[in-house]
């Protein structure tokens, strides 16, 4: 009996294949094989021209979706149908969540199998889990299918109804989304808070004291019996003390006077306190907390975290990575506790088994937290993983093991000292027993280092002691605006507000960055002018669609559809066609939206208007009776633009560019200008004879106001020749490009070999020796090595002595020789493939390529001959 098993990806297929009996053939659907049309080209002829075809959803026919098989999936479908012909049974083994259930349903709809069908689900890919799943197959859960389909239709209705409106009112190419627009609004709201923020300035004193040769610090907390002000005592919108606060606010002059008054006076310990506390370990990871911690600890984006976690799951290293649950199975708890006892000893084991309860509302179907797979946990060193996969697995392993460890026991230390009418406080912390800190400390790569950093040791102090003050200094404080969202804090905010679901956060953040609503700078999410304009329009005319509570209720309804508590069709009708439905809102509100108003962005601190135009943001100012407009650089955001920049840009427009000086060799003027891609220098003016004068962008490390004539001359001299390569005799140069400063080995027809400069390198002073050092380093592109590391080296080809290696690609494992790649056949693995077998596969592939090439050439020749005959006979 032959059984066909369909999963989503080749990696998952390869892993699961190892745990299935003989007669089971595993293949991949490569994700969804059907979807709504993404363009007019994909709409079938039968539906083209129908009023609803562009939307892809027939609203009048009970929101019937128009599903099509995209071109890139037609070959996959053909192969699946062929494989099904040879099978006596079909098992659909896609992921256990809504998306996986939907993929299985679409497979049934397209393949129309005539053999028995089973739905197999599992949350980890291990021998035990797969065997158990085989004996506990079920039917497709149509509640899950309806929930996924409703979400897909909702997203299409919002996106395809509002996006065209934004094109008409603001600019072409903009998009709106059910969760995307709410996320952008949160980021814009935070930026508005920062813009409205008024910083407060206050001072205090810090003392360095000595007790029996032991140094410690203390800070001023009261003066004359009144508490000293802290940042929380000030109003963020005014910068003034919050009404009703009875605290002392010291100016710089007052702080200096107080320091002088207290200098040389006697200090006395008036109170000491030791307060024991405990810290409990965090629960094991959910999708959301994994994304947050990977961003904080490893600097990995939510999107890359999910890609890496998906790979780890499909290769059998971790359990299913899309989950809201913090629950651990009994098997997992036993495995974690075994790890604790083996690695750290019994003293570090939690006396009782720890079981965590999921607090997230609307937790999805997956029933266990993200943890190492199996009934025993492989240590990170035992996995053989490398780079990002190893770092993420290591974090998951440590968090899971730590959750079954003993509490950390600490003592908080507090000492109050008095000098004259001032009181100072010194705070310390002692770790009495590290407990789970030994394995895992949030936000830290190194638990041992984190333990040292957490301890603040104080000398042995008792009431009545008189330590010596060695140093007293005044300290300035300025209140800080609310921090911009990072990926980690945005994910946390979205989850706490019930917006979207953790499995969608990576896609949401990727979308708002890719579509130009947000820029990522030093991990912070900074909104663009476009984000401000779109958010303002939606807030004014479609407030419910960017309201967090409204969006959260939508997510709750989708969860209820998944459990069968709510019917999907009445909900869609109410959302889109109801009295306050989206379609009705757009029809009523569109005529009220003035494009001139919608394009304008109000920024109180600026003396001009900022508008969104066809080619991006620009400023508009009044100059007497005429209006002056000037484009803003593409990467400039509201956070960057200030009155001084506005003045420079407008001055350039009205008076011409600012002259930095004259070139010392040619005498030509050098101008500083601001263009679409930021500030740049230009040698000479644009004239009929010199239509394209030499230009050079300013690197991000040089601010326009800091530019000197020599810097401008050096920039215009780029690319600069450093010398000739000792082996090729070809030039080595340093230059400045789109991705920053670089060195290049220019080999002419043989190509150019580039390397980016490091942070410590200076663009203007780098020498030939340093350039050669950089060129000797392995080339990297977008964070990955350009030369792929083979999974296994099989040896050299007998005819040309070139290497034959095994690699992993998007479609599975393959062997490679020069330009020929051959996929591994069914049953063959990295471990079993030999040089002899690889030679056979490569020869077969090379032969088929040659045959295909000959056939193509023959067809082309025939076509050309026919054309010639036609022409000659006419």
Residue 534 and residue 494 in contact, taking contact as beta carbons nearer than 8 Å:
no
Q: Could you give phi then psi for residue 220, rounded to 5 degrees?
A: -65, 130
453 in helix, strand or coil?
helix
| Tokens coding 834 | 């030999």
What count of residues does the chain have? 874
Q: Kindly report the three-state secondary structure assignment for every residue of 722-758.
A: EEECCCCCCEEEEEEECCEEEEEEECHHHCEEEEECC
Q: Kindly report the three-state secondary structure assignment for every residue of 601-651.
A: ECCCCCCCEEEEECCEEEEEEEECCEEEEEECCCCCCCCCCCHHHHHHHHH
Distance CA(534)–CA(681), nearest Å, equals: 34
Distance CA(319)–CA(13), nearest Å, equals: 16
E strands, 514-560, where? 518-521, 524-527
Residue 694 and residue 715 in contact, taking contact as beta carbons nearer than 8 Å:
no
Specify the residue for token string 């200030």: 642
- For residues 498, 503, 508, 510, the Cα torsion angle rounded to the nearest 10 degrees is 150
Distance CA(472)–CA(419), nearest Å, equals: 12
Q: Could you give phi then psi for residue 604, rounded to 5 degrees?
A: -60, -35
Residue 31 and residue 8 in contact, taking contact as beta carbons nearer than 8 Å:
yes
CA angle in degrees (0–180, nearest 5) for 608-614-616: 55
Distance CA(450)–CA(701), nearest Å, equals: 33
> Residue 124 class from Cβ within 10 Å (0-12 exposed, 13-18 middle, 19+ buried)?
buried
How many beta carbons lie within 10 A of that of residue 235, not counting itself? 14
Instruction: Provide the pairing of β-strand 117-119 with 89-92.
Output: parallel
Instruction: Provide the pairing of β-strand 616-623 with 812-817.
Output: unpaired
Distance CA(322)–CA(259), nearest Å, equals: 57
Helix (H) or strand (E) segment spanning residue 426: strand 422-433
Residue 696 and residue 732 in contact, taking contact as beta carbons nearer than 8 Å:
no
Bridge partners of 415, per DSSP, are 272, 426
Residue 92 and residue 80 in contact, taking contact as beta carbons nearer than 8 Å:
no
- 228 — alpha (psi -120 to 50), left (phi > 0) or beta? beta
- Within the chain, what is the greatest distance between any pair of CA atoms? 118
> Residue 748 class from Cβ within 10 Å (0-12 exposed, 13-18 middle, 19+ buried)?
exposed
| Tokens coding 430 | 């002692």
DSSP state letter for 285: B
Q: Which residues are catalytic?
A: 320
Distance CA(547)–CA(185), nearest Å, equals: 9
Backbone Cα Rg of the chain: 33
Distance CA(209)–CA(213), nearest Å, equals: 9
Distance CA(305)–CA(324), nearest Å, equals: 16
Distance CA(649)–CA(727), nearest Å, equals: 48
DSSP state letter for 486: B
Distance CA(405)–CA(395), nearest Å, equals: 15
């Amino acid at each position: 009996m032959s059984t066909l098993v369909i999963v989503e990806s080749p990696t998952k297929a390869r892993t699961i294949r190892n745990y299935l009996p003989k007669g089971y053939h595993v293949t991949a659907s490569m994700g969804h094989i059907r979807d709504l049309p993404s363009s007019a080209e994909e709409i079938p002829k039968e539906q083209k021209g129908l009023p609803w075809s562009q939307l892809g959803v027939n609203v009048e026919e009970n929101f019937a979706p128009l599903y099509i098989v995209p071109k890139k999936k037609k070959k996959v479908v053909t192969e699946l149908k062929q494989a099904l012909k040879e099978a006596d049974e079909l098992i659909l083994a896609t992921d256990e969540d809504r998306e996986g259930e939907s993929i299985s349903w679409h497979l049934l709809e397209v393949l129309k199998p005539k053999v028995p069908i089973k739905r197999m689900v599992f949350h980890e890919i291990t021998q035990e889990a797969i065997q158990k799943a085989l004996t506990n197959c079920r039917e497709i859960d149509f509640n899950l299918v309806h929930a996924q389909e409703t979400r897909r239709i909702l997203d299409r209705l919002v996106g395809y109804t509002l996006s065209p409106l934004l094109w008409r009112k603001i600019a072409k190419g903009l998009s709106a989304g059910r969760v995307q627009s709410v996320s952008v609004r949160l980021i814009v709201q935070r930026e508005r808070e920062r813009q409205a923020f008024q910083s407060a300035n206050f001072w205090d004193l810090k003392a360095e004291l000595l007790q029996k040769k032991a140094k410690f610090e203390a800070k001023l907390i009261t003066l004359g019996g009144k508490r000293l002000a802290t940042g929380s005592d000030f109003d963020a919108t005014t910068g003034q003390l919050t009404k009703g606060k009875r605290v002392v606010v010291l100016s710089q002059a007052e702080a200096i006077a107080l320091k002088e008054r207290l200098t040389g006076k006697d200090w006395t310990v008036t109170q000491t306190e030791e307060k024991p506390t405990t810290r409990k370990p965090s629960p094991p990871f959910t999708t959301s907390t994994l994304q947050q911690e990977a961003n904080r600890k490893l600097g990995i984006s939510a999107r890359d975290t999910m890609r890496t976690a998906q790979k780890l799951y499909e290769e059998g290293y971790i359990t299913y990575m899309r989950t809201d649950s913090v629950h651990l199975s009994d098997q997992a708890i036993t495995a974690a506790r075994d790890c604790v006892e083996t690695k750290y000893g019994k003293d570090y084991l939690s006396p009782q088994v720890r079981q965590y309860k999921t607090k997230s509302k609307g937790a999805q179907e997956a029933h266990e937290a993200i943890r190492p797979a199996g009934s025993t946990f492989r240590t990170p060193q035992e996995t053989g993983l490398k780079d990002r996969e190893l770092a993420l697995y290591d974090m998951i392993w440590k968090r899971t093991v730590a959750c079954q460890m003993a509490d950390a026991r600490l003592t908080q230390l507090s000492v109050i000292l008095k000098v004259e009418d001032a009181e100072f406080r010194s705070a310390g912390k002692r770790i009495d027993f590290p407990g789970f800190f030994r394995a895992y400390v949030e936000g830290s790569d190194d638990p041992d280092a984190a333990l040292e950093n957490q301890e603040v040791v104080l000398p042995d102090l008792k009431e009545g002691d008189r330590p010596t003050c060695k140093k007293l200094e005044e300290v300035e404080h300025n209140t800080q605006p609310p921090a911009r969202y990072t990926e980690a804090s945005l994910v946390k905010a979205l989850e706490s507000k019930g917006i979207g679901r953790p499995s969608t956060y990576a896609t949401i953040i990727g979308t708002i960055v890719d579509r130009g609503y947000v820029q990522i700078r030093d991990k912070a999410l900074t909104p663009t002018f476009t984000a401000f304009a779109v958010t303002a329009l939606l807030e004014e005319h479609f407030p419910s669609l960017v309201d967090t509570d409204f969006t959260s209720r939508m997510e709750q309804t989708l969860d209820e559809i998944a459990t069968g508590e709510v019917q999907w069709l009445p909900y869609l009708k109410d959302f889109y066609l109801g009295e306050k439905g989206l379609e009705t809102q757009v029809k009523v509100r569109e005529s009220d939206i003035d494009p001139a108003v919608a394009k304008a962005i109000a920024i109180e601190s600026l003396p001009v208007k900022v508008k969104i135009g066809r080619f991006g943001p620009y400023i508009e100012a009044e100059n007497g009776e005429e209006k002056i407009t000037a484009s803003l650089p593409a990467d400039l955001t509201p956070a960057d633009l200030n009155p001084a920049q506005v003045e420079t840009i407008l001055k350039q427009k009205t008076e011409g560019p600012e002259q930095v000086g004259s070139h010392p060799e040619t005498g030509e003027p050098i101008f500083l200008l601001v263009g679409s891609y930021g500030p740049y220098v230009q040698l000479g003016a644009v004239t009929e004879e010199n239509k394209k004068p030499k230009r050079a962008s300013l690197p991000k490390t040089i601010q326009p106001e800091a530019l000197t004539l020599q810097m401008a001359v050096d920039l215009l001299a780029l690319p600069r020749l450093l010398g000739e390569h000792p082996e090729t005799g070809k030039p080595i140069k340093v230059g400045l490009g789109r991705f920053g400063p670089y060195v290049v080995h220019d080999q002419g027809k043989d190509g150019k070999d580039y390397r980016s400069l490091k942070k410590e390198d200076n663009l203007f002073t780098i020498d030939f020796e340093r350039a050669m050092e950089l060129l000797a380093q392995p080339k990297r592109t977008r964070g990955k090595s350009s030369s792929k590391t083979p999974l296994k080296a099989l040896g050299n080809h007998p005819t040309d002595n070139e290497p034959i290696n095994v690699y992993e690609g998007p479609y599975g494992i393959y062997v490679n020789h020069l330009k020929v790649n051959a996929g591994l056949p069914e049953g063959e693995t990295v471990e079993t493939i030999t040089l002899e077998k690889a030679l056979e596969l490569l020869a077969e592939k090379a032969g088929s390529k040659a045959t295909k090439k000959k056939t193509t050439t023959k067809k082309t020749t025939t076509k050309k001959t026919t054309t010639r005959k036609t022409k000659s006979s006419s």
